[in-house]
Chains A and B, each alone.
Chain A
Amino acid sequence: MEYCLQVTDLTKQYNGFCLDHVSFEVKQGSIMGFIGENGAGKSTTIKAILNLIHPDHGEIQILGEDYKLQSRAKKELIGVVFDECHFHDNLNATETGLFLSKIYTNWDDALFKSYLNKFKLPLKKSIKEYSRGMKMKLSIAAALSHHPKLLLLDEATSGLDPVIRNEILDVFYDFIQDEEHSILMSSHITSDLEHIADYITFIHDGKIILTDITGTSQ
């Protein structure tokens, strides 16, 4: 499979904003940085890819399957990290891993615990007591612990301090060492994408302006 993600002519009309025939592709084994200013359409595009919104027009192929007809097996291979942690505040890391292990057939509890250890996340502390950086690390640990092939990151590093951002970018860099792994990472922080992305797609006001090689990946 050459491309793990193909978006073609994606269109979604809202009052005052339009995602206008967005097209781009993510090559297998690469990191695509998806950059644009606030309100450019990055999150809307990622939500469309994840079937969280219903586009007016367009096609999306993820890991070789139409996104609307995705099999459970293919959904298992996608890891998602949003800009906010969506785990309930009164859960702890252990409980989060417990119910996720019943949802993902590929769930690797040993790997999850190793990420918690690496990120120094306490097992029994409530998520409401976590800092923003800790919540993001927990989301990333959860996204990586079911052996995904494709990571979709929607502003996963925004609001974090530079130390934690670099720590998280290093995790993504380790993930991409396997040539079967790919990342689509949306951000408005250009320095993060300069650090890690192989390609950049620039979106502005709902339209793709350019897709290019960064030439600065490690």
Chain B
Amino acid sequence: MTGLILKDILVNKKYLYQAFGIIVLYIIIFGVMSNNFGFVIPFIIIFFTMFILTTFQSDEAAQWEMYCITLPTARKEVVQAKYMLALLLTLLGTIITILTSLLEAVIKKQVPNQDLFYLVIGFLSSSLFFNSIQIPFTIKLGAEKARYAIFFIIFIPALLIMALYNMGLMNHVVELLTTLEKNIPLLIFAAFLTGLLALLISFRISVSLFQKKEF
């Protein structure tokens, strides 16, 4: 599995360097100079969560999977490597998010409070959920079609919810959420644990899909 993870990092190292450069630039321009860290942190979250899709695209371009199956790696191990890399990227993104938030606190001369902790757990949860959907879809459909499928599954409902909210049709939901706000810590932890569970279920589905795949 180490070899497969190393392969993904080596193949995409140029992309990683460029992305790090852009993150640093964004932190400087939008964070430090414009005092708008609220723009930078979602970018960090999205980049690290979507990077695994880039590794699948690179593999497809080289028709790598066909060759990979002939190596002394079980099909399950190939899937494990992708999930492990996704988790490592999530961890890296979390660390960068924490550092960026601490930088924001220093610039604004604030003491970091529990909001930072909730932000981190929230990032982890959303990343876990997103990976639990994008990886099996990518294995089944390929990277290109998976992008469209993920767009429909995640963003269309999100847009619908926004539209309903703007039309005032989400008032009951908003009242419920306002009530639950008093239990933010519980909500955040519940989201994190659900994200972990979703990732475990997703892993089993991905292994099953990849076992059946023909080349």
> Residues of A with Cβ closer than 8 Å to B?
47, 50-54, 72-73, 75-76, 78, 80, 82, 84, 86-91, 95, 98-105, 152
Contact = CB atoms under 8 A, between A and B. Distances in A.
A98 B214 contact: no
Contacts of B70: 50, 52, 75, 78, 80, 152
Contacts, number: 71
A86 to B, nearest CB: 4
Contacts of A54: 212, 214
A140 B78 CA distance: 23
Contact of B62 (A50, A53, A72, A89): A89
Contact of B61 (A88, A100, A105, A152): A88
Interface residues of B, number: 25
B139 to A, nearest CB: 15
Interface in B18-58: 58
A91 B214 contact: no
A98 B3 CA distance: 8
A166 B117 CA distance: 65
B58 A88 contact: yes
Interface string B181-215: 00000000000000000000000000000001011
Please name the 5 residue pairs, one residue from A and one from B, whose CB atoms are nearest each other, closest first.
A102-B3, A86-B67, A103-B3, A75-B72, A80-B70
A118 B33 CA distance: 56
A132 B79 CA distance: 30
B4 interface: yes
Contacts of B62: 86-89
B162 interface: no
B203 to A, nearest CB: 21
**B contact patch SS:** helix
B2 interface: yes
Interface stretch (B6-14, B87-95, B103-111, B127-135): B6-14
A86 B66 contact: yes
Given A89-B62, A99-B7, A100-B3, A50 B71 contact: no
A104 B64 contact: no
A17 B6 CA distance: 39
Contacts of B73: 103
Contacts of B74: 72
B95 to A, nearest CB: 24
B171 interface: no
A86 B64 contact: yes
B214 A99 contact: no
A102 B10 contact: no
A89 B63 CA distance: 11
A102 B14 contact: no
A69 B70 CA distance: 14
A51 B215 CA distance: 9
Contacts of B69: 50-52
Nearest to A71: B72
Contacts of B58: 88, 90
Contacts of B214: 52-54
